[in-house]
Amino acid sequence: MGTQAQWTWLVYMAGDNNLEAAGDANLKNMQQVGSTEQVNVLVQFATEENKTTRYRVEKSNLTVLQEMPGVDCGDPKVLTDFIKWGTQQYPAQYYLIDIWNHGTGWENLPPDFNYDSIRDAKPQQSAKLKRVKRSVFRTTVHDINSRSINARAIAIDCGSHDYLDNQKLHDGIFDALPNGKKIDILGCDACMMNMLEISYQVKDTSHYMVGSEQSEPNTGWPYSVILQALTQNPQMSPQDLSKAIVQSYGAWYQQYGNSASDKSATQSALDLGQIEPVADAVNALADLFIANLNNVAGSISLARDKAQKFDYPEYIDLGDFAAQLLLRLTQNPQITAAASKVRDTLQSQAEGGFVIANSTWGPTVQRASGVSLYFPQQENYSPDYADLIYSKQGRWKAFLEAFYAL
């Protein structure tokens, strides 16, 4: 057991899928810097060999701390156990939980999903498979089988045929923390996780969230660059480290990104303590939509179609959607004022803004503002959307249902 450091960085590496080689590459990248007295880098790596290993990453070395049989990375209790172990064995002033694997935003995988298609495919190929990106979590097999055919998901364990949905992600973190304590940073080295719906789901587990609106390139986070900055300045606050991850990520892809294979990249940092003003602003906008629906539905539809989209086209950038509304609803000052309010609550430059850092690389994501929102075509709407905390407490789902009922 170590003495208290400034930071303990816990990497939950779900590699029992086609990303195991990418996990090995990231481990090597982390070893370029490694841990210090003030920064502990701990990794739980589950692999296709039915083996799970816990490491402390050192400079040019991996110290094995514990070896176990293969675990089900989709079981929230496995995530809880890893967080408890890491925080107890390596206490620190601050903690970062890094969820590493595939990600599909808030959506779940269908009950008949072919896990072997992920295990067998190369990472670049699997990104093109139906309803799959770099997911990180999974639920129990029972939960999967009970879902509708339209259900989707986020972290994939091919060995267990399981993943963590967003409620299980919440529970896995929340149950690890005593007396309502929050993780300082929830990092998602996975695809399409920085959505309003997901950040709202985990707002009571973490102070900050760092992740991508878009599918991540297979390289993922540039760990050596980020860890170099942190180990040189371990006194970084959680806000400063969140910003540093985004800035390092953006700078790395600007320099090394391959436009042919990677195509685009996004990364943003969200202050979860500032999410309620965003949710309130979207609620107000949704209510105005409903009240004026017969007159504005066409403009709303056009704003959605023109807004910045990602590899799942039903995920639209929230800030750009607001901008598109401002262009198309000038005749309705109430809605334009509400859209301006949404955009203002997101601003990374504003004091107390929700998006505290944002970076984009590639011509197809230049209008990404840092957080996306679910707005599918009617035929692609998933009934599972009703299960999210955001849907139960907010007004966006009510707008979607009214919009589709026209």
Contact (Cβ atoms closer than 8 angstroms) between residue 261 and residue 206? no
Q: Residue 332 has which token pair?
A: 């309705």
Give whole-number Cα distances, 33 to 3, 21, 61, 120, in Å. Answer: 20, 20, 10, 32
* Rounded (10°) CA dihedral 14, 152, 162, 200: 60
Q: Residue 358 has which token pair?
A: 């944002």
Domain ranges of the chain: 5-106+162-273, 276-405
* Burial of residue 118, with CB atoms counted within 10 A of its CB: 0-12 exposed, 13-18 middle, 19 or more buried: buried
* Residue 15: per-residue pLDDT: 62
pTM more than 0.85: yes
* Rounded (10°) CA dihedral 107, 113, 119, 122: -70
| Each residue's pLDDT expressed in tens, for the chain with a length of 406 residues | 557 999 999 999 886 555 667 788 899 999 999 999 999 999 999 877 788 999 999 999 999 999 998 888 888 899 999 999 999 999 999 999 999 876 667 876 555 554 444 334 443 433 333 333 333 443 333 343 343 333 334 444 434 344 567 888 899 999 999 888 999 999 999 888 999 999 999 999 999 999 999 988 878 899 999 999 999 999 999 999 999 999 999 999 999 998 888 889 999 999 999 999 999 999 999 999 999 999 999 999 999 999 999 998 999 999 999 999 999 999 999 999 999 999 999 986 556 799 999 999 999 999 999 999 999 999 999 998 999 999 999 999 999 999 999 9
b/e sequence 142-172, b meaning 16+ C-beta within 10 Å:
ebbeebeebbbbbbbbbbbbbbbbbbbbbbb
* Residue 157: per-residue pLDDT: 44
Q: What is the DSSP letter of 334?
A: H
| Sign of the C-alpha dihedral computed for residues 279, 282, 288 and 293 taken in this order | negative
Q: What proportions of the chain, in percent to the nearest 5, are helix, strand and coil?
A: 45, 20, 35
Region 5-106+162-273: CATH code: 3.40.50.11970
Cα 226 from Cα 230, distance rounded (Å): 6
Contact (Cβ atoms closer than 8 angstroms) between residue 17 and residue 102? yes
* Residue 405: per-residue pLDDT: 96
* Rounded (10°) CA dihedral 114, 115, 118, 119: -130
With CA atoms as reference, report the closest residue to 126 among 146, 151, 109, 138.
Answer: 109
